[in-house]
Amino acid sequence: MRDLTLTQQLAELIMTKPITPADWQHAALLTLDALANALAGQSSEPGAILLRWAAATGVNDAERYAFLGGALTHILETDDLHRASVTHPGCVVVPAAWAVAARAGLRGHAVLKAVLWGFEAMTRVGMAVGPAHYRIWHNTATCGPYGSAMAAAALLHLDGPATVHALGNAGTQSSGLWQFLDTGAMTKHLHAGHAAAAGVLAADLAQAGFTGPPAILEGTKGWFAAACPDADPAAVVRDPDGPWQLMQTSIKPWPSCRHTHPVIDAAGDLRGIPISEIEQVDVATYPAALEVCDRPSPQSDYEAKFSLHHCVAAALSRESVDFDAFAKSARTELAALRGRITVRVAEPYASAYPQAWGGAVTVTLRSGESRTARRTHAKGDPEVALSPVELIAKARMLMNYGGVSEPDQLINGILALADDAPLLELPWASRIAAMRHEI
């Protein structure tokens, strides 16, 4: 694309990409999934802290609204996942789009266009950062500001140069480290909230004429040089005529790190084998799954969600890998089985990642017999997608968990965005108002 920077090329690619009726429909479904996650996140310890913070300090602008929504969405580990970029775009892009659209009184198609644009920017940057980045940096946190800025730019009707300024100043705010995993700290939720808010701020400033660096990605002192030793810059604008990246995004059926899902899915095929007959369980996966989820003895709900050992044990022994499967009682119950589980990197899963997230589970019985189940893709990936009925059922479950009194009314209202319906007020506003009266 002529002599343009990568950011300029990215903005041009996204702003000229056509949107089909199927894109509107799918964007509404992923918007529903993200908002249902945010509402469920209220019913958690971090969610309660965030709501108290909001009640005490006020959520009176789009930036703070986006922060709250982003943080709530990323708490329960049930939000979406884009494999090739290793990002969770919904928890960043949807809250940012909703916050800016609600402020301006915009309707459904404006929101969904922003969601499509935001997913595209976030995931394209994510596909370019390279695997070494992910070992230290949390891609959702670092690539997220590009997505929220692009979503806000769509809603603010920024022209090309202003959009590039927004992306440049979003990128310079990129941050977010994996260190929280050592203690199970709540920082991961902060990552999503900050990424959502940073893009809103950057786009608002760009609308006011505030400039940003157009070569934020590939410049000699830009993002790739700073934090991406094996970056693939061409990935930012590769395959411009392909489907929207939102269409390539996976939906989580289980409330744990997505790296655990291929082997949860495989282990489900082996459920029913008496646990007392299991001698050993071998889990084969790809390197990133071990780097993030090698936890033989998780000490908290959150650590259990990042434990291949615990997730496989739960899938082998329980009818449902739900929120209860990670509680203290379940961790105690499954300790002995976890001790018989080993995890390792193996082919073809190592080479296929991140384009495909697969794995295998082999159970060896005391009799010497062994049984294996394999997955090239996990349930919820585009190749094995949840149906709209399954996705709506998941949203209803999450909303019930979050204390929403009439989930079907809200679900229908969100899905109606595909027909350009107006936005509904999300229930956490009333909860914050009630808490404010108690302070």
Is 437's pLDDT higher than 80? no
**Residue 264 sits in the same domain as residue 170:** no
Stretch 159-170: mean pLDDT, rounded?
98
Do residues 281 and 61 make contact, with C-beta atoms less than 8 angstroms apart? no
* CATH number, residue 337: 3.30.1330.120
Mean pLDDT of the chain: 95
Other beta carbons within 10 Å of 230: 10
- Alpha-helix runs per DSSP H in 237-321: 261-268, 287-293, 301-305, 308-317
Looking at residue 438, its pLDDT comes to 67
CA-closest candidate to residue 129, choices 216, 1, 3: 216
What is the rounded distance in angstroms from the CA atom of residue 16 to the CA atom of residue 82?
Answer: 22
Place of tokens 């105690």: 332
**Residue 179 sits in the same domain as residue 159:** yes
- Mapping DSSP to helix (H, G, I), strand (E, B) and coil, where does residue 342 land? strand
Domain carrying residue 342 = 258-379
Assign 3-class secondary structure to 105-167: CCEHHHHHHHHHHHHHHHHHHHHHCCHHHHHHECHHHHHHHHHHHHHHHHHHCCCHHHHHHHH
Residue of 413 and 436 predicted with greater confidence:
413
* CATH number, residue 62: 1.10.4100.10
What is the rounded distance in angstroms from the CA atom of residue 310 to the CA atom of residue 89?
Answer: 26
**Residue 137 sits in the same domain as residue 212:** yes
Phi, psi of 139 (to 5 degrees): -55, -40
**Which residue, of 335, 356, 379, is where some domain finishes?**
379
Phi, psi of 120 (to 5 degrees): -65, -45
What is the rounded distance in angstroms from the CA atom of residue 342 to the CA atom of residue 359?
Answer: 13
**Residue 97 sits in the same domain as residue 226:** yes
In a domain, 94, yes or no: yes
Q: Which helix (H) or strand (E) holds 326?
A: none
**Residue 268 sits in the same domain as residue 201:** no
Looking at residue 28, its pLDDT comes to 98
Is 104's pLDDT higher than 70? yes
Looking at residue 1, its pLDDT comes to 47
Tell me how many helices (H) and strands (E) the chain has: 21, 4
- Alpha-helix runs per DSSP H in 139-260: 139-156, 160-171, 187-207, 223-227
Looking at residue 184, its pLDDT comes to 87
What is the rounded distance in angstroms from the CA atom of residue 413 to the CA atom of residue 98?
Answer: 14
**111-138 pLDDT, tens digit each:** 999 999 999 999 999 999 999 999 999 9
Do residues 60 and 22 make contact, with C-beta atoms less than 8 angstroms apart? no
In a domain, 1, yes or no: no
In a domain, 232, yes or no: yes
**Residue 332 sits in the same domain as residue 420:** no
- Mapping DSSP to helix (H, G, I), strand (E, B) and coil, where does residue 372 land? strand
**Residue 232 sits in the same domain as residue 220:** yes
**Which residue, of 333, 353, 379, is where some domain finishes?**
379
> For residue 41, what are the contacts with CB-CB under 8 A and spacing of at least 6?
47, 50, 71, 72, 73, 74, 75, 76, 189, 402
**242-271 pLDDT, tens digit each:** 999 999 999 999 999 999 999 999 999 999
**Residue 150 sits in the same domain as residue 33:** yes
What is the rounded distance in angstroms from the CA atom of residue 76 to the CA atom of residue 253?
Answer: 12
Tell me the percentage of the chain whose pLDDT exceeds 90: 93
**Residue 145 sits in the same domain as residue 266:** no
Stretch 320-338: mean pLDDT, rounded?
96
**Residue 311 sits in the same domain as residue 163:** no
**Residue 221 sits in the same domain as residue 95:** yes
Other beta carbons within 10 Å of 136: 12
What band does 212 get if pLDDT is binned at 50, 70 and 90?
A: very high
Looking at residue 257, its pLDDT comes to 94
In a domain, 141, yes or no: yes
Q: Which tokens sit at 337?
A: 């089985």
In a domain, 350, yes or no: yes
**358-396 pLDDT, tens digit each:** 999 999 999 999 999 999 999 999 999 999 999 999 999
Place of tokens 């900050």: 194
Looking at residue 300, its pLDDT comes to 92
In a domain, 166, yes or no: yes
**Which residue, of 347, 364, 379, is where some domain finishes?**
379
What is the rounded distance in angstroms from the CA atom of residue 227 to the CA atom of residue 178?
Answer: 14
Tell me the percentage of the chain whose pLDDT exceeds 70: 98
Looking at residue 439, its pLDDT comes to 59
What band does 48 get if pLDDT is binned at 50, 70 and 90?
A: very high
**Residue 193 sits in the same domain as residue 139:** yes
What is the rounded distance in angstroms from the CA atom of residue 255 to the CA atom of residue 406?
Answer: 23
What band does 426 get if pLDDT is binned at 50, 70 and 90?
A: confident
Residue of 432 and 98 predicted with greater confidence:
98
CA-closest candidate to residue 19, choices 96, 114, 155: 114
- Number of domains, the chain: 2
